[in-house]
Amino acid sequence: GNSIREGLVQLLIRHRENFLSGEEISQRLECSRTAVWKHIEELRKEGYQIEARPKSGYRLVYRPDRVAPEELQPHLSTRSFGQHFRYRAQVTSTQALAHEWAREGAPEGAVVIAEEQTEGRGRMGRSWHSPPRSGIWMSLILRPSLPLPLAPQLTLVASVALSRALKSETGLPVSIKWPNDLLVHGKKVCGILTELRGEQDQIQYIVLGMGINVNVTEEFFPKELKEKATSLAIEGKQTYSRPQLICSMLKELETWYNGYLTHGFEPIRILWEESAGMLGKMITARTPSGEKRGIAKGLDATGALLLETEEGILPVFSSYID
């Protein structure tokens, strides 16, 4: 099993300039052609891109990188973010693991990353599709001394930081959609999930989850996501190094988080408005008093979205939008 697979990967790497026929592979590895084909399918599921051409055979196009600590260290220039690290090949959700670690006393800046999530989650019980080795599925533990009602601002801090990191690493036009999405060409490449544990009216800790579709190819999006989701690789027509992206994300997150704690929300609010793709557009917010339609005007000083409606300008809170 495993040795055929390793042999296959080695063969494909050594011959990445040309095609290798299924026949030749099966002879060299001393296994059946069916076995070769099965392993190729396995590798594809894990993010390897292997071109198959009738008559010519197989050629390795892309081999996924790993996001293990030893791959990140060389690129990491933060003081605390990412300096404590839990890396897993597969988890249910990095959020779950991060909550556990935070309860055990994980320090601020601790990060959980997995190659694959089997039960990745979004907001309000929704799920997050997290195929192996092609995305960044990461949770960051924060321990700000802030009053509870300010917690939603951290989602906005994160969207500003992440949009800057993704823009500078890829050059793609990344825009922010309130409250927790990043889009490229109108499709979602990143979702942010802020979960918190509070005590009385103080934040005890926050788990900031982020999912970024990096090298996900079209065939790995389920049908219901094809219309609304995309990846950096699809939009940029090239693959990107996940370790490098992660380090850039952590650097921007650390900078803007510390800036926010020192200088407050106003600088973030201004940057947010500069990167928001939805200002001036008509949107619908679902609030406890019914649906409100209006034009998105900007953010108020607390981080609520200002909606110009028939009843005047209304602040809309993030929990009312989906």
Binding site for ligand BT5 (CB under 6 A): 93-95, 117, 120-123, 126, 128-129, 137-139, 180-181, 188, 191-193, 209-211, 213, 225, 229
> What's the half-sphere exposure (Cβ side, CA atoms, 13 Å) at 93?
20
Q: Which is nearer to ligand BT5, 26 or 318 (CB)?
A: 318
Q: Are 224 and 128 within 8 A, CB to CB?
A: no
**Residue 44 CB-density burial (10 A; 0-12 exposed, 13-18 middle, 19+ buried):** middle
Minimum distance of ligand BT5 from residue 137's CB (angstroms): 4
Q: How many CB atoms neighbour CB 171 within 10 A?
A: 9
Nearest approach in angstroms of CB 217 to ligand BT5 is 12
Q: How far is the CB of 104 from ligand BT5 (least distance, A)?
A: 18
Smallest distance, Å, CB 308 to ligand BT5? 24
* Closest to 214 measured CA to CA, from 66, 74, 112: 66
Nearer to ligand BT5, 115 or 181 (CB): 181
Query: Could you tell me the smallest distance in angstroms from the CB atom of residue 96 to ligand BT5?
Result: 7
Which are the contacts of 182, defined by CB distance < 8 A and separation ≥ 6? 159, 162, 163, 166, 174, 175, 176, 188, 189, 190, 191, 192
Q: Which is nearer to ligand BT5, 53 or 228 (CB)?
A: 228
Nearer to ligand BT5, 182 or 279 (CB): 182
CB nearer ligand BT5, residue 123 or residue 133: 123
Nearer to ligand BT5, 181 or 235 (CB): 181
Least distance between ligand BT5 and beta carbon 25 (Å): 32
Residue 39 or 123 with smaller CB distance to ligand BT5: 123
Minimal distance in Å, beta carbon 212 to ligand BT5? Answer: 8
CA-CA-CA-CA dihedral for 285, 322, 149, 259, to nearest 10: -110
Give the end-to-end CA distance of the chain in Å, rounded to a whole number: 45
CA distance 22 to 42: 15
Provide the strand spans (E) within the chain: 49-53, 57-62, 85-91, 111-117, 135-142, 174-177, 181-184, 187-199, 202-213, 282-287, 290-299, 305-309, 312-316
